[in-house]
Amino acid sequence: MNPSVLDGYDPQGFYCEMLQSAASRVVRERLSGLSIAALKQRAGNANAELYNLGITFTVYSDAKTIDRILPFDVIPRILSGEEWQHLESGITQRITAINLLLDDIYHKQHLLRDGIVPPDLILGNRNYRPAMRGIDLPHKTYVNICGTDIVRDERGTFLVLEDNARTPSGVSYVVENRHMMLRAFPDLLDEIGLRPIENYGARLISALHEVAPAGSGDPRVVLLSPGTYNSAYFEHVFLAREMGVPLVEGRDLLVEDDRVFMRTTGGLSRVDVIYRRIDDDYLDPEAFLPDSMLGVPGLMRAYRAGNLALANAVGTGVADDKAVYAYMPRIIHYYLGQEPILQNVETHICREPAALRYTLDNLAELVVKPVGEAGGYGITVGPKASRDELDECRAKLIADPANYISQPCIKLSVAPTLVDGRVEPRHVDLRPFAVTGASTWILPGGLTRVALRQGSLVVNSSQGGGSKDTWVVA
Protein backbone atom coordinates (compact mmCIF):
# COMPACT_ATOMS: atom_id res chain seq x y z
CA MET A 1 0.00 0.00 0.00
CA ASN A 2 1.01 3.63 -0.50
CA PRO A 3 0.40 5.49 2.74
CA SER A 4 -0.31 9.20 2.27
CA VAL A 5 1.66 11.92 3.99
CA LEU A 6 -0.32 12.36 7.20
CA ASP A 7 -1.47 8.72 7.65
CA GLY A 8 -0.64 7.63 11.17
CA TYR A 9 1.04 10.91 12.04
CA ASP A 10 0.88 11.49 15.80
CA PRO A 11 2.02 14.78 17.38
CA GLN A 12 2.50 12.95 20.70
CA GLY A 13 0.67 15.49 22.80
CA PHE A 14 2.54 18.57 21.63
CA TYR A 15 0.83 21.50 19.98
CA CYS A 16 0.84 20.67 16.27
CA GLU A 17 1.29 23.45 13.72
CA MET A 18 -0.45 21.37 11.05
CA LEU A 19 -3.29 19.55 12.80
CA GLN A 20 -4.27 22.40 15.12
CA SER A 21 -4.09 25.18 12.56
CA ALA A 22 -7.43 26.44 11.31
CA ALA A 23 -5.76 27.61 8.10
CA SER A 24 -4.29 24.27 7.07
CA ARG A 25 -7.47 22.40 6.07
CA VAL A 26 -6.97 22.62 2.30
CA VAL A 27 -3.30 21.78 2.53
CA ARG A 28 -4.06 18.80 4.80
CA GLU A 29 -6.56 17.50 2.28
CA ARG A 30 -4.08 17.85 -0.54
CA LEU A 31 -1.35 16.16 1.48
CA SER A 32 -3.65 13.23 2.12
CA GLY A 33 -3.82 12.77 -1.66
CA LEU A 34 -0.01 12.55 -1.86
CA SER A 35 1.90 9.38 -1.02
CA ILE A 36 4.94 9.46 1.21
CA ALA A 37 6.94 7.92 -1.62
CA ALA A 38 6.01 10.82 -3.94
CA LEU A 39 6.76 13.33 -1.21
CA LYS A 40 10.14 11.73 -0.65
CA GLN A 41 11.01 11.88 -4.31
CA ARG A 42 10.07 15.53 -4.63
CA ALA A 43 11.99 16.31 -1.44
CA GLY A 44 15.10 14.63 -2.86
CA ASN A 45 14.89 16.70 -6.04
CA ALA A 46 14.42 19.88 -4.06
CA ASN A 47 17.47 19.28 -1.88
CA ALA A 48 19.63 18.39 -4.90
CA GLU A 49 18.56 21.64 -6.53
CA LEU A 50 19.47 23.65 -3.43
CA TYR A 51 22.94 22.11 -3.55
CA ASN A 52 23.41 22.88 -7.24
CA LEU A 53 22.20 26.42 -6.73
CA GLY A 54 24.82 26.71 -4.01
CA ILE A 55 22.26 27.81 -1.44
CA THR A 56 24.64 26.67 1.20
CA PHE A 57 26.31 27.62 4.39
CA THR A 58 29.96 26.84 4.84
CA VAL A 59 31.39 24.63 7.52
CA TYR A 60 35.07 24.13 8.20
CA SER A 61 36.60 20.77 8.86
CA ASP A 62 40.20 19.59 8.60
CA ALA A 63 41.18 22.94 7.10
CA LYS A 64 38.85 22.27 4.17
CA THR A 65 35.75 24.25 3.46
CA ILE A 66 32.61 22.29 2.84
CA ASP A 67 29.41 23.70 1.46
CA ARG A 68 26.34 22.27 3.10
CA ILE A 69 22.77 23.04 2.39
CA LEU A 70 20.48 23.80 5.26
CA PRO A 71 18.34 20.64 5.19
CA PHE A 72 14.99 21.61 3.82
CA ASP A 73 11.78 19.90 4.85
CA VAL A 74 9.11 20.17 2.22
CA ILE A 75 6.04 19.95 4.46
CA PRO A 76 5.15 23.60 5.02
CA ARG A 77 4.44 25.23 8.36
CA ILE A 78 1.15 27.08 8.15
CA LEU A 79 -0.04 30.23 9.92
CA SER A 80 -3.49 31.75 9.59
CA GLY A 81 -4.05 35.39 8.69
CA GLU A 82 -5.23 36.00 12.25
CA GLU A 83 -2.19 34.42 13.82
CA TRP A 84 -0.01 36.46 11.53
CA GLN A 85 -1.72 39.70 12.38
CA HIS A 86 -1.12 38.98 16.06
CA LEU A 87 2.57 38.26 15.41
CA GLU A 88 2.92 41.31 13.20
CA SER A 89 1.51 43.72 15.72
CA GLY A 90 3.46 42.11 18.56
CA ILE A 91 6.78 42.25 16.71
CA THR A 92 6.19 45.82 15.54
CA GLN A 93 5.47 46.84 19.11
CA ARG A 94 8.62 45.17 20.32
CA ILE A 95 10.86 46.74 17.68
CA THR A 96 9.35 50.16 18.32
CA ALA A 97 10.20 49.77 21.99
CA ILE A 98 13.72 48.52 21.21
CA ASN A 99 14.44 51.54 19.00
CA LEU A 100 13.14 53.89 21.69
CA LEU A 101 15.27 52.07 24.25
CA LEU A 102 18.41 52.42 22.12
CA ASP A 103 17.79 56.09 21.39
CA ASP A 104 17.28 56.70 25.09
CA ILE A 105 20.33 54.84 26.38
CA TYR A 106 22.58 56.63 23.87
CA HIS A 107 21.09 60.00 24.77
CA LYS A 108 19.41 61.12 28.00
CA GLN A 109 18.98 57.72 29.69
CA HIS A 110 15.55 58.42 31.20
CA LEU A 111 14.99 54.71 31.58
CA LEU A 112 17.97 54.35 33.86
CA ARG A 113 17.14 57.44 35.91
CA ASP A 114 13.60 56.18 36.39
CA GLY A 115 14.98 52.89 37.69
CA ILE A 116 13.24 50.67 35.14
CA VAL A 117 16.40 48.73 34.32
CA PRO A 118 19.47 48.58 36.59
CA PRO A 119 22.05 50.95 35.02
CA ASP A 120 24.89 48.44 35.22
CA LEU A 121 22.94 46.02 33.01
CA ILE A 122 23.04 48.61 30.23
CA LEU A 123 26.16 50.68 30.82
CA GLY A 124 28.26 47.71 31.95
CA ASN A 125 27.13 45.58 29.02
CA ARG A 126 29.91 44.68 26.63
CA ASN A 127 27.64 45.51 23.70
CA TYR A 128 26.95 49.01 24.96
CA ARG A 129 29.00 51.35 22.73
CA PRO A 130 29.90 54.69 24.33
CA ALA A 131 30.98 55.80 20.82
CA MET A 132 27.26 55.99 19.97
CA ARG A 133 26.44 58.57 22.64
CA GLY A 134 24.88 61.67 21.20
CA ILE A 135 24.66 60.43 17.62
CA ASP A 136 21.23 61.28 16.18
CA LEU A 137 19.92 58.74 13.70
CA PRO A 138 17.30 59.39 11.00
CA HIS A 139 13.85 58.38 12.32
CA LYS A 140 15.68 57.25 15.46
CA THR A 141 15.87 53.84 13.87
CA TYR A 142 18.72 51.75 15.25
CA VAL A 143 17.44 48.30 14.32
CA ASN A 144 16.65 48.30 10.61
CA ILE A 145 16.64 44.55 10.31
CA CYS A 146 15.40 42.38 13.15
CA GLY A 147 14.85 38.65 13.34
CA THR A 148 12.77 37.87 16.41
CA ASP A 149 12.91 34.26 17.57
CA ILE A 150 9.46 33.05 18.52
CA VAL A 151 8.30 29.71 19.92
CA ARG A 152 4.92 28.26 20.72
CA ASP A 153 4.10 26.45 23.94
CA GLU A 154 1.83 23.44 24.46
CA ARG A 155 -1.27 25.67 24.38
CA GLY A 156 -0.21 27.25 21.11
CA THR A 157 0.67 30.59 22.67
CA PHE A 158 3.39 32.53 20.84
CA LEU A 159 6.30 33.54 23.05
CA VAL A 160 9.37 35.61 22.22
CA LEU A 161 12.55 33.68 22.92
CA GLU A 162 15.13 36.17 21.69
CA ASP A 163 15.35 39.55 19.94
CA ASN A 164 18.06 39.35 17.29
CA ALA A 165 18.80 43.01 16.80
CA ARG A 166 22.37 42.83 15.52
CA THR A 167 22.76 41.01 12.19
CA PRO A 168 20.09 38.32 12.09
CA SER A 169 20.49 35.87 9.23
CA GLY A 170 18.19 33.41 7.50
CA VAL A 171 15.99 35.55 5.28
CA SER A 172 17.65 34.17 2.14
CA TYR A 173 16.46 30.70 3.10
CA VAL A 174 12.93 32.01 3.50
CA VAL A 175 12.83 33.30 -0.06
CA GLU A 176 14.77 30.41 -1.61
CA ASN A 177 12.64 27.86 0.23
CA ARG A 178 9.57 29.50 -1.24
CA HIS A 179 11.03 29.42 -4.75
CA MET A 180 11.73 25.75 -4.21
CA MET A 181 8.18 25.05 -3.04
CA LEU A 182 6.72 26.97 -5.97
CA ARG A 183 8.66 24.70 -8.32
CA ALA A 184 8.26 21.39 -6.47
CA PHE A 185 4.68 21.70 -5.12
CA PRO A 186 2.66 23.95 -7.40
CA ASP A 187 -0.31 21.66 -6.75
CA LEU A 188 -0.08 22.13 -2.99
CA LEU A 189 -0.11 25.91 -2.90
CA ASP A 190 -2.39 26.64 -5.82
CA GLU A 191 -5.20 29.08 -4.95
CA ILE A 192 -4.94 28.85 -1.17
CA GLY A 193 -4.36 32.57 -0.61
CA LEU A 194 -0.68 32.20 0.17
CA ARG A 195 0.89 35.58 0.91
CA PRO A 196 3.82 36.35 -1.41
CA ILE A 197 7.30 37.12 -0.11
CA GLU A 198 8.86 38.32 -3.34
CA ASN A 199 9.43 41.93 -2.41
CA TYR A 200 11.84 41.63 0.52
CA GLY A 201 14.75 43.22 -1.38
CA ALA A 202 12.64 46.16 -2.57
CA ARG A 203 11.32 46.76 0.96
CA LEU A 204 14.80 46.54 2.42
CA ILE A 205 16.38 49.01 0.04
CA SER A 206 13.47 51.44 0.47
CA ALA A 207 13.99 51.32 4.23
CA LEU A 208 17.71 51.90 3.77
CA HIS A 209 17.00 54.88 1.51
CA GLU A 210 14.75 56.26 4.26
CA VAL A 211 17.62 56.29 6.74
CA ALA A 212 20.25 57.61 4.28
CA PRO A 213 22.12 60.75 5.33
CA ALA A 214 20.27 63.95 4.52
CA GLY A 215 21.33 65.40 1.17
CA SER A 216 22.60 62.17 -0.34
CA GLY A 217 20.04 62.50 -3.13
CA ASP A 218 19.88 59.13 -4.79
CA PRO A 219 21.84 57.33 -2.08
CA ARG A 220 24.37 54.66 -2.90
CA VAL A 221 23.77 51.55 -0.79
CA VAL A 222 26.28 48.71 -0.45
CA LEU A 223 26.30 45.46 1.47
CA LEU A 224 29.46 44.91 3.52
CA SER A 225 30.43 41.26 3.96
CA PRO A 226 33.40 39.63 5.68
CA GLY A 227 33.93 37.78 2.38
CA THR A 228 33.42 34.53 0.54
CA TYR A 229 34.62 32.39 3.44
CA ASN A 230 31.98 33.65 5.82
CA SER A 231 29.44 30.94 6.61
CA ALA A 232 26.58 33.25 5.63
CA TYR A 233 28.16 34.39 2.35
CA PHE A 234 25.31 33.00 0.31
CA GLU A 235 22.91 35.21 2.22
CA HIS A 236 25.08 38.26 1.58
CA VAL A 237 25.02 37.47 -2.14
CA PHE A 238 21.28 37.00 -2.00
CA LEU A 239 20.66 40.32 -0.26
CA ALA A 240 22.99 42.29 -2.52
CA ARG A 241 21.32 40.79 -5.57
CA GLU A 242 17.79 41.33 -4.33
CA MET A 243 18.60 44.96 -3.60
CA GLY A 244 20.69 45.39 -6.76
CA VAL A 245 23.61 46.85 -4.82
CA PRO A 246 27.35 46.06 -4.80
CA LEU A 247 28.53 43.41 -2.35
CA VAL A 248 31.72 44.86 -0.92
CA GLU A 249 34.41 43.81 1.52
CA GLY A 250 36.30 46.11 3.86
CA ARG A 251 39.22 46.33 1.43
CA ASP A 252 36.91 47.78 -1.23
CA LEU A 253 36.10 50.79 0.95
CA LEU A 254 38.05 53.70 2.33
CA VAL A 255 37.30 56.86 4.27
CA GLU A 256 38.59 60.27 3.18
CA ASP A 257 37.56 63.54 4.84
CA ASP A 258 34.97 61.61 6.86
CA ARG A 259 33.30 60.37 3.70
CA VAL A 260 33.13 56.76 2.56
CA PHE A 261 34.20 55.66 -0.92
CA MET A 262 34.49 52.39 -2.78
CA ARG A 263 37.19 51.51 -5.26
CA THR A 264 35.77 51.03 -8.74
CA THR A 265 37.17 50.60 -12.23
CA GLY A 266 36.58 54.32 -12.73
CA GLY A 267 38.19 55.42 -9.46
CA LEU A 268 36.62 56.26 -6.09
CA SER A 269 32.83 56.36 -5.84
CA ARG A 270 30.80 57.73 -2.93
CA VAL A 271 28.92 55.39 -0.52
CA ASP A 272 26.01 56.64 1.61
CA VAL A 273 24.48 53.58 3.28
CA ILE A 274 26.11 50.36 4.41
CA TYR A 275 24.10 47.29 5.27
CA ARG A 276 26.89 45.65 7.19
CA ARG A 277 27.05 41.97 7.98
CA ILE A 278 30.07 42.47 10.20
CA ASP A 279 29.90 42.73 13.99
CA ASP A 280 30.52 46.05 15.73
CA ASP A 281 33.88 44.82 17.03
CA TYR A 282 35.31 44.38 13.54
CA LEU A 283 33.70 47.36 11.82
CA ASP A 284 36.33 50.03 12.29
CA PRO A 285 39.81 49.30 13.64
CA GLU A 286 40.16 52.97 14.60
CA ALA A 287 37.16 52.78 16.91
CA PHE A 288 36.92 49.14 17.97
CA LEU A 289 39.24 46.10 17.67
CA PRO A 290 42.44 47.65 16.29
CA ASP A 291 43.61 44.50 14.51
CA SER A 292 40.40 43.89 12.57
CA MET A 293 41.15 43.10 8.93
CA LEU A 294 37.48 43.01 7.94
CA GLY A 295 36.51 46.57 8.66
CA VAL A 296 37.23 50.02 7.32
CA PRO A 297 39.37 52.51 9.26
CA GLY A 298 37.48 55.72 9.83
CA LEU A 299 33.96 54.39 9.34
CA MET A 300 32.85 55.69 12.74
CA ARG A 301 34.23 59.14 11.91
CA ALA A 302 32.03 59.24 8.80
CA TYR A 303 29.13 57.93 10.89
CA ARG A 304 29.53 60.57 13.59
CA ALA A 305 29.86 63.27 10.93
CA GLY A 306 26.46 62.26 9.57
CA ASN A 307 27.87 61.22 6.20
CA LEU A 308 26.96 57.58 6.49
CA ALA A 309 24.09 55.37 7.54
CA LEU A 310 24.85 51.96 9.01
CA ALA A 311 22.26 49.22 9.18
CA ASN A 312 21.93 48.05 11.79
CA ALA A 313 23.31 50.92 13.83
CA VAL A 314 26.32 50.33 16.03
CA GLY A 315 25.54 49.30 19.59
CA THR A 316 22.22 47.50 19.10
CA GLY A 317 23.58 44.35 20.74
CA VAL A 318 22.70 45.70 24.14
CA ALA A 319 19.01 45.42 23.26
CA ASP A 320 19.04 41.72 22.46
CA ASP A 321 21.08 40.79 25.49
CA LYS A 322 19.66 38.02 27.66
CA ALA A 323 19.59 40.18 30.76
CA VAL A 324 17.86 43.07 29.02
CA TYR A 325 15.41 40.61 27.43
CA ALA A 326 14.06 39.84 30.88
CA TYR A 327 13.09 43.49 31.27
CA MET A 328 11.48 43.80 27.84
CA PRO A 329 7.85 43.69 29.07
CA ARG A 330 8.64 46.58 31.44
CA ILE A 331 10.54 48.43 28.71
CA ILE A 332 7.52 48.18 26.38
CA HIS A 333 5.29 49.47 29.12
CA TYR A 334 7.67 52.30 29.99
CA TYR A 335 8.03 53.71 26.49
CA LEU A 336 4.68 52.87 24.93
CA GLY A 337 2.32 52.68 27.91
CA GLN A 338 1.06 49.37 26.48
CA GLU A 339 0.95 45.79 27.60
CA PRO A 340 3.17 43.55 25.49
CA ILE A 341 1.21 41.88 22.71
CA LEU A 342 3.69 39.02 22.58
CA GLN A 343 4.87 37.68 25.90
CA ASN A 344 8.37 36.72 26.83
CA VAL A 345 8.99 33.21 27.95
CA GLU A 346 8.24 33.69 31.65
CA THR A 347 11.50 34.93 33.10
CA HIS A 348 12.48 35.29 36.73
CA ILE A 349 15.10 37.95 37.29
CA CYS A 350 17.01 36.54 40.22
CA ARG A 351 18.44 39.88 41.29
CA GLU A 352 14.88 40.52 42.54
CA PRO A 353 14.27 38.79 45.91
CA ALA A 354 10.83 37.33 45.07
CA ALA A 355 12.12 35.86 41.81
CA LEU A 356 15.16 34.42 43.56
CA ARG A 357 12.96 32.77 46.17
CA TYR A 358 10.69 31.32 43.48
CA THR A 359 13.69 30.03 41.53
CA LEU A 360 15.25 28.39 44.58
CA ASP A 361 11.93 26.80 45.52
CA ASN A 362 11.34 25.34 42.04
CA LEU A 363 14.85 24.64 40.90
CA ALA A 364 14.12 21.12 39.62
CA GLU A 365 11.52 22.41 37.13
CA LEU A 366 13.36 25.49 35.81
CA VAL A 367 16.11 26.35 33.38
CA VAL A 368 18.66 28.63 35.06
CA LYS A 369 20.79 30.80 32.77
CA PRO A 370 23.63 33.17 33.60
CA VAL A 371 23.00 36.62 32.09
CA GLY A 372 26.57 37.87 31.99
CA GLU A 373 28.61 38.22 28.90
CA ALA A 374 29.44 34.50 28.84
CA GLY A 375 25.95 33.81 27.46
CA GLY A 376 25.70 30.15 26.50
CA TYR A 377 27.76 28.81 29.39
CA GLY A 378 26.59 27.52 32.75
CA ILE A 379 22.98 26.74 31.91
CA THR A 380 21.32 24.33 34.34
CA VAL A 381 18.30 22.45 33.04
CA GLY A 382 16.42 21.51 36.20
CA PRO A 383 14.49 18.44 35.00
CA LYS A 384 17.68 16.90 33.59
CA ALA A 385 20.08 17.92 36.38
CA SER A 386 21.41 15.60 39.09
CA ARG A 387 20.97 16.38 42.78
CA ASP A 388 24.60 17.52 42.95
CA GLU A 389 24.19 19.79 39.96
CA LEU A 390 21.09 21.33 41.49
CA ASP A 391 22.95 21.91 44.77
CA GLU A 392 25.78 23.55 42.91
CA CYS A 393 23.35 25.75 41.00
CA ARG A 394 21.63 26.70 44.26
CA ALA A 395 24.94 27.77 45.79
CA LYS A 396 25.79 29.93 42.77
CA LEU A 397 22.37 31.56 42.80
CA ILE A 398 22.70 32.49 46.46
CA ALA A 399 26.24 33.78 45.98
CA ASP A 400 25.49 35.98 42.94
CA PRO A 401 21.76 36.18 42.20
CA ALA A 402 22.15 39.17 39.86
CA ASN A 403 24.00 37.00 37.39
CA TYR A 404 21.05 34.67 36.79
CA ILE A 405 17.62 34.41 35.31
CA SER A 406 15.37 31.37 35.35
CA GLN A 407 12.71 30.20 32.93
CA PRO A 408 10.29 27.27 32.78
CA CYS A 409 11.04 24.46 30.27
CA ILE A 410 8.88 25.19 27.24
CA LYS A 411 7.29 22.26 25.42
CA LEU A 412 7.84 23.59 21.90
CA SER A 413 5.20 23.03 19.27
CA VAL A 414 5.78 20.42 16.57
CA ALA A 415 5.16 20.12 12.84
CA PRO A 416 4.97 17.00 10.66
CA THR A 417 8.41 16.46 9.13
CA LEU A 418 9.76 13.94 6.66
CA VAL A 419 12.50 11.97 8.46
CA ASP A 420 14.04 8.81 6.99
CA GLY A 421 11.01 8.16 4.81
CA ARG A 422 8.50 8.63 7.63
CA VAL A 423 6.49 11.65 8.68
CA GLU A 424 7.08 12.43 12.34
CA PRO A 425 6.53 15.34 14.71
CA ARG A 426 9.56 17.59 15.14
CA HIS A 427 9.92 20.72 17.25
CA VAL A 428 9.93 24.07 15.42
CA ASP A 429 10.47 27.73 16.10
CA LEU A 430 9.86 30.82 13.96
CA ARG A 431 12.01 33.78 12.99
CA PRO A 432 10.06 36.49 11.19
CA PHE A 433 12.13 39.25 9.57
CA ALA A 434 11.18 42.85 10.22
CA VAL A 435 12.48 45.79 8.20
CA THR A 436 12.36 49.27 9.68
CA GLY A 437 13.13 52.58 8.02
CA ALA A 438 10.62 55.29 8.84
CA SER A 439 8.19 52.51 9.84
CA THR A 440 8.22 48.75 10.32
CA TRP A 441 7.27 46.12 7.73
CA ILE A 442 7.43 42.37 8.34
CA LEU A 443 7.94 39.72 5.69
CA PRO A 444 4.82 37.50 5.90
CA GLY A 445 5.94 34.22 7.40
CA GLY A 446 9.60 33.94 8.22
CA LEU A 447 12.09 31.19 8.76
CA THR A 448 10.68 28.09 10.43
CA ARG A 449 13.58 26.14 11.85
CA VAL A 450 13.03 22.51 12.70
CA ALA A 451 15.01 20.25 15.04
CA LEU A 452 15.45 17.17 12.88
CA ARG A 453 16.62 14.90 15.69
CA GLN A 454 13.87 13.13 17.55
CA GLY A 455 12.98 14.89 20.79
CA SER A 456 15.57 17.61 20.20
CA LEU A 457 14.69 21.20 20.96
CA VAL A 458 17.79 22.58 19.23
CA VAL A 459 16.91 24.09 15.87
CA ASN A 460 20.31 25.63 15.05
CA SER A 461 21.69 24.74 11.64
CA SER A 462 25.05 23.87 13.18
CA GLN A 463 23.37 21.22 15.32
CA GLY A 464 21.23 19.23 12.96
CA GLY A 465 18.54 21.82 12.40
CA GLY A 466 16.69 22.26 9.13
CA SER A 467 14.13 24.65 7.75
CA LYS A 468 10.60 24.70 6.41
CA ASP A 469 8.72 27.11 4.24
CA THR A 470 6.34 29.19 6.33
CA TRP A 471 2.97 29.89 4.75
CA VAL A 472 0.72 32.68 5.85
CA VAL A 473 -2.58 31.66 4.37
CA ALA A 474 -5.45 34.11 3.71
Partner 1 sequence: MPDVLLARYADCIFWLARYVERAENLARILDVNETFSRDSRGGQNWRSIVQLNSDEERFLASHDAPAAHSVVNFYVIDGDNPTSIVSTIRYARENARTLRPLISTEMWVQLNVFYNRLTELSAEDLAPGNLAALFAMIKEACQTHTGITEGTFFRDQGWYFYQIGRYIERADQTTRLLDIKYHLLLPSVADVGSPVDVSQWNALLRSAAGYHAYRRLHAASTTPARVAGFMLLNNAFPRSVHHCVREVGRLLGEVKSHHGLRNGNDAAEELDRLQAVLGTFDIAAILRSGLHEFLDSIQRQLMAVTRELSIAFFGYTPETSQAQTASSQ
Query: Are 117 and 321 a contacting pair, CB within 8 Å?
Result: no
Distances (CA, A) of 345 to 232, 363, 402, 408, 412: 28, 17, 19, 8, 11
For partner 1, the closer of residues 97 and 223 by Cβ is 223
- Tell me whether residue 64 or residue 155 sits nearer to partner 1 (CB atom): 64
Which residues of this protein are in contact with partner 1, per CB under 8 A? 52-54, 218, 220, 228, 233-234, 237, 240-241, 246-249, 251-252, 262-267, 269
User: What's the closest the beta carbon of residue 230 comes to partner 1, in angstroms?
Assistant: 11
| 218 vs 388 by CB, closer to partner 1 | 218
Long-range contacts of 52-57 (CB under 8 A, 24+ apart): 53/176, 54/234, 55/172, 55/173, 55/176, 55/234, 56/234, 57/231, 57/232, 57/234, 57/461
- The least CB distance from residue 242 to partner 1, in Å, is 10
Q: For the CB of residue 264, give the shortest distance to partner 1 in the complex, in Å.
A: 5
Comparing CB distances to partner 1, the nearer of 53 and 395 is 53
Query: β-pairing, 422-431 with 414-419?
Result: antiparallel
CB of 51 to partner 1, least distance (A): 8
Judged by beta carbon, residue 221 or residue 415, the one nearer partner 1 is: 221
Count CB atoms within 10 A of the CB of residue 258: 16
Scanning 291-402, the segments in alpha helix (DSSP H) are: 299-304, 322-326, 328-336, 353-361, 387-399
Whichever of 267 and 353 has its CB closer to partner 1, that residue is 267
Q: How far is the CB of 319 from partner 1 (least distance, A)?
A: 30
Shortest Cβ 268–partner 1 spacing (Å): 10
Indicate the residue among 146 and 204 with the shorter CB distance to partner 1.
204
The long-range contacts involving 462-465, CB below 8 angstroms and separated by at least 24 positions, are 462/59, 465/70, 465/71
β-strands 433-436, 145-152: how paired?
antiparallel
CB of 223 to partner 1, least distance (A): 8
CA 165 to chain centre: 8
